[in-house]
Amino acid sequence: MTTFLALGTGRVLAESDAAIRGESVARPSDVSDLWSVAIDKDHPSHQVALEALKRRRDHAAAIAEASQQVLGDAGAEARVSELLVTLGYDPMRSAVWIRDRYWNAAMGKSEAVARRHARALAELAKTQTGAMEVLREMLNAPLNRFAQAKRFRASYATGRDAHARSRAGLVDIVGGLGPHAAPMIPDLHLLIVEPGPDVSARERSELRRAAAFALGRIGPKARLALEDADRRGVVEAIHGLLLLSDASDELVDDLMRRLELFANVVNRIEHWEEEAAICNRLALMGECASPATPQLAAFLKQRDPASVSFAHYARTLQELGPMARRQAAEILSSRIDAQGERGRKCLELLGGCGVEAEFLLPRLLAEFASEDMGRRRIAIRAVGEIVGDGAEQPGVLTALANLLADDACAGEAAWALSQYGAAAREYSRDIATLMFEAKGDVQRNAFAEALLNVGEPTWATDQIQRLLDDGKVRSDYLRDSLQLEVDRKRRIPAARTTAWSSQDAVADQSK
């Protein structure tokens, strides 16, 4: 039976190849065999089958044959959806076929497959108005379409959330069309303003967020829709507005006004992503946003170090210039003695203040003797970040070197020493010894990276090559990355030598 099928498929493909050359035309009964080969990208006759399918005139029959060929195979159905986009078949027939398979996958247990169908339909919608209408129909599908599915009959809440996830996924794919999705602006505007009564509070926020991002990606044509949603008090609209915004003093003022709203009115737990988005936008503006420093510092003082927003404000200040980093360091220093996670979080954030936190080095060095191993390790890394930014203070290098003898934090100490570069070269042999004696790949890798930064280049690369040759690195990924780094380090001196030799040769010829 298998031999017969193979011979049959081979005959069909031979005739299809002949059809491409204009010698004959593939018969309708052979289309199913062509689909099976076209779906398989690795088949040697894949391209021949595609060309034969493109020559088909009876699109309805070809699509019907595809349905029979892939019935029950979700992955193959998704592949057919993708092929329908490239084959140039009747757009509405293709769009309807893709839509039906999308719903089968979305209401089943194949959300990833459903996304593949939706992306194929979106690609078709770039050039076909009918496909865009089908996409709109899918986006606005009522909840009862999901509620009636067998999988969700036992739990209304499960069906409701699956429906919301499906819509959010479609919205994201629509946004990926960029300006091509301009016809969908009214639908996205309606979705961001009122996602519907049958949506949970959590899913409502996710839907609005997805719609805002999609509108922002569509471009300036969507600005009015986003501004209207913003005027209606839809907090999530900020995501789209930020995508359309340009750096300016007016933008800084507007963002600070919004942050003040978060501080005083809005539930910050529900909308922490919007608060983070504003902080990230200010951070990207860098010193252009430095006028916001006093207000950001005030917000940082108000926040609990255990909250997510505390880290957002601290990291934003660290991007706004030296004065802002100094203020952040002073605020953090007042809280590093707090117990538990709060104190550790402040210690961790101090490193990002760089050289502006140099005045805190004595306090950080005192943490090296802490009984709390977590605080000790965080303090070591913070010291490394501060000295790596150019801070200089007597005794720091020696204190870090002494920690190499402490197995519990030797890896962090080696990393911090590596921030000194060649200035810590006298400790390179100690680091190499620890590298060979390390018990695990993670710690061994930390010592190897430190050695590359601290040691004399040729000697350091030789030591790491020896480590690799001895088979001490078990992880394939770490072994490959270290080998690449060794090869890169060795090529640099070789390239310089070649360049100098060429210059000498030219000089000799000129004489």
DSSP character for 73?
-
Q: Which long-range contacts (CB under 8 A, 24 or more apart) does 132-137 make?
A: 132/183, 132/184, 134/92, 134/95, 134/96, 134/98, 134/99, 135/95, 135/170, 135/174, 135/184, 136/183, 136/184, 136/187, 137/99
Compute the distance between CA of residue 443 and CA of residue 434 in angstroms, rounded to an integer: 9
CA dist 242 to 164, 211, 223, 291, 338, Å?
A: 24, 13, 11, 19, 36
Mean pLDDT along residues 165-194: 89
The Cα–Cα gap between 26 and 13 comes to 9
In the chain, where are the structural domains located? 267-393, 408-501
Helical ranges in 287-422 per DSSP H: 293-302, 308-318, 322-333, 340-350, 361-366, 373-388, 396-402, 410-418
- pLDDT at 361 > cutoff 60: yes
- CA distances to 16, 88, 116, 174, 295 from 119, rounded to whole Å, are 29, 16, 5, 8, 43
187-229 pLDDT, tens per residue?
A: 999 988 887 766 777 778 888 889 999 999 999 999 999 999 9
Question: Mind listing the pLDDT tens digit for each residue in 1-29?
Answer: 333 334 344 444 444 444 444 434 444 34
Q: Which tens digit of pLDDT belongs to each residue from 400-449?
A: 888 888 878 888 888 888 888 878 888 888 888 888 888 888 888 888 88
328-351 pLDDT per residue, tens: 999 999 988 888 889 899 999 998
Lowest-confidence region among 145-149, 169-173, 260-264, 398-402 = 145-149
**DSSP state letter for 246:** -
What DSSP character marks residue 492? H
pTM of the entire predicted model: 0.65
- DSSP code of residue 88: T
C-alpha to C-alpha distance for 223 and 215, rounded to whole angstroms: 8
pLDDT at 269: 58
Q: Residue 188: its pLDDT value, please?
A: 92
Q: How confident is the model at residue 186 (pLDDT cuts 50, 70, 90)?
A: very high
Specify the higher pLDDT residue, 197 or 101.
101
Q: What is the pLDDT of residue 10?
A: 47
Contacts of 405 (CB under 8 A, 6+ apart): none
Could you tell me if 360 and 391 are in contact, meaning their C-beta atoms sit under 8 angstroms apart?
Answer: no
**Which residue in the block uniquely carries the two structure tokens 């049958």?**
198
Average pLDDT, the chain: 80
Contact 367, 400 (CB under 8 A): no
Phi, psi (5° rounding) for residue 58?
Answer: -85, 85
Output the pLDDT for position 109: 64
- Determine how many CB atoms are found less than 10 A away from the CB of residue 24: 12
* 82/61 Cα distance (integer angstroms): 18
What is the pLDDT at residue 20? 40
Nearest to 345 by CA among 382, 370, 316: 382
Q: What percent of the chain has pLDDT over 70?
A: 83
The yes-or-no verdict on residue 473 having pLDDT over 60 is yes
pLDDT, greater one: 277 or 472? 277
